[in-house]
Structure 1
Amino acid sequence: MSEFELDGRIARDSDLIATLDLCQLRIQNDSRWPWLVMVPQRADMTEIFELSEADHALLSAEVNHVAAALKEITCATKINVGALGNIVRQLHVHVIARFEGDANWPGPIWGYGSAEPYDSEKRQALVNTLMEKLSR
């Protein structure tokens, strides 16, 4: 059995903010949307259905917890949750806060414009608020 290794594209485009029981919780470096990426720390996984029953339940619980916290702290119109993996095959789940009137609302975020990196203070404020909410 091989060891978990984070795909280099996920590592390049996001920063680790917490390690949960199953997932790495990462923030995408694109300030247009509060955008989190959750990566189950299991080797060679590409599909949710490949997870064990226990890991599948844990992934669902972690995603729900993070999505609810993100919705509450951002007052988002909608939380988008998706595990697409067409380009980066490693199993990962996107949790994105969307707002009416945001860049490309109501269309998808993928392939729209160019990423706008966070100002470090704004990024840290979001991370701190999220982590505070998740710890309750």
Structure 2
Amino acid sequence: MFSLDSRLQQDTLVMGDFPLCRLLLMNDANYPWFILVPRREAVSELFQLDTADQQQLWLETTRLAETLKDAFVANKMNVATLGNVVSQLHMHVIVRRREDQAWPAPVWGRHPARAYEAGEVSSIRERLRLVLTNDFQFAEA
């Protein structure tokens, strides 16, 4: 049975589910920073997914990145799987803008996280509702 790593639970807000992945929003309002987590048990590496799930993960990742680039007017999208702290396979999809605090450096550990306020999360959900359809199921707010 799929369960989300406790660190991801602690640091993120659940946005909803694609067919394969749970979509999370990192609770850091400094950057629109999303995380996709395949809902598969005991997977820490891409190659541990079967071929169909690998293809689905890439489809969901690229679809999300394209959607976020337009919705948040990004200068660059950062997409990566890193798992040195959280071993559960997860894909970071981060909107980067030249005016963000860390530009052009990576966002990890650059500035203290600023938790989202309720209205900011609602605004992000509404942006996503306008662009994500059909195969995305929103979590209850």
Q: Is the Cα–Cα contact under 8 Å of residues 24 and 38 in structure 1 kept in the other structure?
A: yes
Aligned pair count?
Answer: 134
Aligned pair 1:76/2:74, yes or no?
A: yes
Matched AA of 1:101: E
Instruction: Say what the alpha-carbon RMSD is for the aligned residues.
Output: 1.0
Partner of residue 108 from structure 2, selected from 110, 129, 133: 110
Counterpart amino acid of residue 52 in structure 1: D
In the TM superposition, residue 5 of structure 1 has moved relative to its aligned partner by 1.3
Task: Give the TM-score normalised by structure 1.
Answer: 0.95
Partners of 1:99 and 1:105 within 8 A in 2: yes
Within the candidate set 34, 37, 46, 2:35 is matched to 37
CA–CA separation in structure 2 for the residues paired with 1:85 and 1:13:
15
Within a 5 Å distance, the mapping from 1:10-29 to structure 2 comes to 10-29=8-27
Corresponding position of 1:133 = 131
Offset at residue 119 of structure 1 (A): 1.6
Residue type of the partner of 2:30?
A: R
Aligned-pair CA distance for 1:7? 0.2
Measured in 1, the distance between the counterparts of 2:127 and 2:40 equals 28
Identity of aligned residues (%): 37
Distance 1:135 1:52 in 2: 26
Amino acid at match of 2:44: T
TM-score, length of structure 2 as denominator length: 0.92
The secondary structure found in structure 1 opposite 2:78 is strand
Deviation at 1:131, TM superposition (A): 2.6
Alpha-carbon distance in structure 2 between the residues aligned to 1:112 and 1:131 = 30
- SS of aligned partner of 2:14: strand
Equivalent residue of 1:126, what SS?
A: helix
The alpha carbon displacement at 1:101 in A equals 2.2
1:58 corresponds in structure 2 to: 56
Secondary structure, counterpart of 1:130 in structure 2: helix
Contact kept, 8 Å, 1:65 with 1:134, in 2: the verdict is no
1:25 is paired with a residue of what secondary structure?
strand
Aligned amino acid, residue 101 of structure 2: A
**2:139 aligned residue:** none
Long gaps (5+) in structure 2: 135-141
Deviations 1:7-39 (A, max 9, x none): 000011111111110000011110000010100
